[in-house]
Amino acid sequence: MKILHYWRAMWGIIWRECWRFVTQRERFVSALVRPLVWLFIFAAGFRSALGLAISPPYETYILYEVYIVPGLCGMIQLFNGMQSSLSMVYDREMGSMRILLTCPLPRWFLLLSKLLAGTAVSILQVYVFLGVAWCYDIRPPLQGYAWILPALILSGLMLGALGLLLSSLIKQLENFAGVMNFVIFPMFFMSTALYPLWKIKESSALLHHLAEYNPFSQAVELIRFALYGQFNQHAFIYTLAAFIVFMTLAILGYNPSKGMMTRKGGGG
């Protein structure tokens, strides 16, 4: 009976998140427009400026648009993770988070379910984006669309856990702008999403190291290899380890006896 309770609660949380996403049309459109702008405008402009050598998982010369697609899939998940984090802060301020946290299930499970829900939404967005990219003639092997799913689950969980961790640290909604400046942008630009590591090394050794150790880079590489039917073990282990670290810290952050919740204060 207890397992059934966990199962129903998890599906309830995932259903609510997906329903909210689908019914909030503006959110759906803006989530899709962002990577498409990068693909259609930025990548088209950069195509001639950036020469790409043959490097795994690619077996031939590729256009910049082809290179950038896995990075944009990662970007969708990065923004979605932060959006979930923003909605957690909002929910906490508006009170609806309390309903979740006062239900009779362990807090780690509720947070994990919330994370899975956010990941499910991000995967939905990635597949719609890949569909549009396919129409734009960016066509990875068909089996890549299946291989990418486990990679997207892990990268979505890792980026979502980072968002969860941040939401446990952010005291007010207003502070969220800081997350954009200090987390999302540096993570995105200091990664292999837009340019390969060897290209970064040519301009700065420090940037190269930062990009190499950036968990977002590893998530993007995991997605990139999976999309071409290959398994990048290093990226997998790195992303998994980052997920475990972020998730553990997020659970501690939301633990009433150890975390930040008691320090946030309350009313009357």
Q: Is 191 helix (H, G, I), strand (E, B) or coil?
A: coil
Q: Which stretch binds another protein (CB under 8 A): 2-10, 119-127, 170-178, 233-241?
A: 2-10
CB of 250 vs another protein, minimal distance in Å: 17
Give the footprint of another protein on residues 148-177 (CB under 8 A): none
Per-residue contact flags (x/-) with another protein for residues 23 to 62, judged by CB under 8 A: xx--------------------------------------
CB of 127 vs another protein, minimal distance in Å: 24
Q: Single out the residue of 59, 174, 203, 263 in contact with another protein (rule: CB under 8 A).
A: 263
Helices (H), the chain: 2-23, 25-37, 43-46, 64-94, 96-101, 107-135, 144-169, 176-179, 185-189, 197-203, 205-213, 215-227, 233-254
Backbone φ, ψ for residue 67 (5° rounding): -60, -40
Q: Which stretch binds another protein (CB under 8 A): 37-45, 61-69, 91-99, 209-217?
A: 91-99
Q: How far apart are CA 202 and CA 204, in angstroms?
A: 6
Q: Is 190 in the site for another protein (CB under 8 A)?
A: no
Q: Which stretch binds another protein (CB under 8 A): 39-47, 53-61, 71-79, 90-98?
A: 90-98
Is the Cβ of residue 13 or residue 75 nearer to another protein in the bound state?
13
Q: Single out the residue of 53, 177, 203, 266 in contact with another protein (rule: CB under 8 A).
A: 266
111 with 251: CB under 8 angstroms? yes
Q: How far apart are CA 155 and CA 77, in angstroms?
A: 8
- Here the tokens at position 219 are 């998530």
Q: How far apart are CA 65 and CA 43, in angstroms?
A: 5
If binding means CB under 8 A, how many residues of this protein chain bind another protein? 36
Q: Which stretch binds another protein (CB under 8 A): 100-108, 139-147, 174-182, 219-227?
A: 100-108
Query: 201 Cβ partners below 8 Å, 6+ apart?
Result: 208
Q: How far apart are CA 138 and CA 131, in angstroms?
A: 9
Overall size of the chain counted in residues: 268
Q: Is 102 in the site for another protein (CB under 8 A)?
A: yes
Q: Single out the residue of 143, 175, 204, 262 in contact with another protein (rule: CB under 8 A).
A: 262
**What is the contact surface with another protein in residues (CB under 8 A)?**
1, 4-6, 8-9, 11-13, 15-16, 19-20, 23-24, 94-96, 98-106, 256-257, 261-263, 265-268
